Structure 1
Amino acid sequence: MATLNSTKLHIDIVSDVVCPWCVIGYRQLAKALDASGTDYELHWHPFELNPNMPPEGQNLREHIAEKYGATPEQSQENRLRMAQAGNDVGFEFSFADDMRMHNTFNVHQLLHWADQQGRMHDLKQALFAAHFTHRRNLSDNNVLAEVAAETGLERTEALAILADQRFANEVRAAESAWVSKGISSVPAVIFNHRHLVSGAQGVENFTRILEQLAAAED
């Protein structure tokens, strides 16, 4: 297989931590990258699935029913499908009837801060697990600060950032920039600033995409 080792593959991923297919898609892509030996650099970018969600969040089943018109049976089928897809790439979903959807604007501010310290990727993965595996309350700033501390960031500073909203403008600008480029759903994966791939494509499809990019590079 041809690889992209001569030049690093630039990967941008626009996503939200309460998007199940975002973590599944990333894990699929990561397996394809590892198997292909591709040399790459990855950058995460903010997107809010529910920018108008109230701070306290909403029951997930109710949210899915309101937003997508899904019946309880359809919702359960989707959960089972996502759980299997997660299991295939080593990620555990622990869905429950009391699980909640959250407003993630504060989450993205914390990720912006973590990026300044080279820790965004670690925090992103920890937040995926906090929400989907451990069902922690991402609407609670104390919980967000605890997750940040667990990844080696300063808890007190995390709380201060969330209290004074110092990165609000930067996050809004970043979100708007991606929307202006036509991103309306996530995950959105952009290779080398020009090749957009939407959704969780599966390991095999991501592998084929990497092969095509390597062939074009050669």
Structure 2
Amino acid sequence: MKPTIKIDYVSDIACPWCAVGLGNLNQAITQLSDKANFEVHLHPFELNPNMPLGGQDAIEHLTEKYGLTVEQVKANQANIRLKASEAGFKFHPEGRKRVYNTFDAHRLLHWTGQEFGLEKQAILKKELLNTYFCLAVNLDDQKNLLDAVTRSGLDQDRAQEVLTSKEFANEVRAAEALYINAGISSVPSIILNDQYLLQGAQPPESFINAFEQLIQKS
């Protein structure tokens, strides 16, 4: 019998490296699917929980947050686009235009996991990342979130109910607090079998190496 490896993936829709890490993780899982079963649980983290409606210009935000020049930010973005392409995400060539609050996206992900399971949740996660980084559209516009729901094969009317209410707000806040209190301060953070922590957008080879060690231990 193949062992099951549990993966807790803590990340934010507004984090480009979270998209890269998730793509690389999925590549590693595909390569080792004959040796183990993988159970991926997606958990919320907000990089900008206090971002007001309307967001902030992305270049302005990144230069202020990291103390970089505009040229440095653009060079970093070019590097991220390359890594994202290798991970299966075709980021918009001009980059995301603004940085937004992602709480509603996390509520939709929680709803999907609760009512449809992990596989559908993973599909919606990818579509939300595509919405933000590949389409580079406004995350404050609920239509863009609902379009991601539709592309994921989920019930748009039910999703609209979630968005227009405060449904799953407490659950998302509790999940965020759980990982912050556990010491998670940057994303992506990946916890394997409730024991081993990997941080950052690991390449597929790092995930494969970690998985193979867990398989051998089992």
Same-fold call, TM > 0.5? yes
Equivalent in the alignment of 1:86: 84
Structure 2 unaligned blocks of 5 or more: none
Query: By how many angstroms is 1:142 displaced?
Result: 2.2
Equivalent in the alignment of 1:162: 163
Equivalent in the alignment of 1:120: 121
Query: By how many angstroms is 1:96 displaced?
Result: 2.2
The answer (yes or no) to whether the contact 2:10–2:44 under 8 Å persists in 1 is yes
Amino acid at match of 1:89: A
Query: By how many angstroms is 1:10 displaced?
Result: 0.5
C-alpha distance in 2 between matches for 1:99 and 1:131: 9
C-alpha distance in 2 between matches for 1:36 and 1:142: 37
Distance 1:178 1:98, change over 3 A: closer
Matched, 1:47 2:48: no
Matched, 1:138 2:139: yes
C-alpha distance in 1 between matches for 2:79 and 2:123: 26
C-alpha distance in 2 between matches for 1:97 and 1:35: 30
Matched, 1:147 2:148: yes
Query: By how many angstroms is 1:181 displaced?
Result: 0.9
Amino acid at match of 2:213: Q
RMSD: 1.4
The answer (yes or no) to whether the contact 2:3–2:215 under 8 Å persists in 1 is no
The answer (yes or no) to whether the contact 2:131–2:144 under 8 Å persists in 1 is no
Tell me which of 33, 36, 41 is aligned to 2:32.
36
| Aligned partner of residue 114 in structure 1, secondary structure | helix
Could you report, residue by residue, the CA deviation over 1:178-200 in whole angstroms, capped at 9, with x for unpaired residues? 11111111001100011010011
Equivalent in the alignment of 1:72: 70
The answer (yes or no) to whether the contact 1:186–1:199 under 8 Å persists in 2 is yes
Query: By how many angstroms is 1:173 displaced?
Result: 0.6
Equivalent in the alignment of 1:13: 9
Amino acid at match of 1:36: L
Matched residue pairs, number?
Answer: 213
Question: Which consecutive segments of 4 or more residues in structure 1 shift more than 6 A?
Answer: none
The answer (yes or no) to whether the contact 1:61–1:72 under 8 Å persists in 2 is yes
Percent identity over paired residues: 41
Structure 1 unaligned blocks of 5 or more: none
The answer (yes or no) to whether the contact 2:96–2:133 under 8 Å persists in 1 is no
Amino acid at match of 2:30: D
The answer (yes or no) to whether the contact 2:56–2:98 under 8 Å persists in 1 is yes
The answer (yes or no) to whether the contact 1:14–1:47 under 8 Å persists in 2 is yes
| Aligned partner of residue 54 in structure 1, secondary structure | coil
Of 156-165 and 195-204, more deviation after overlay is shown by 156-165
C-alpha distance in 1 between matches for 2:96 and 2:195: 40
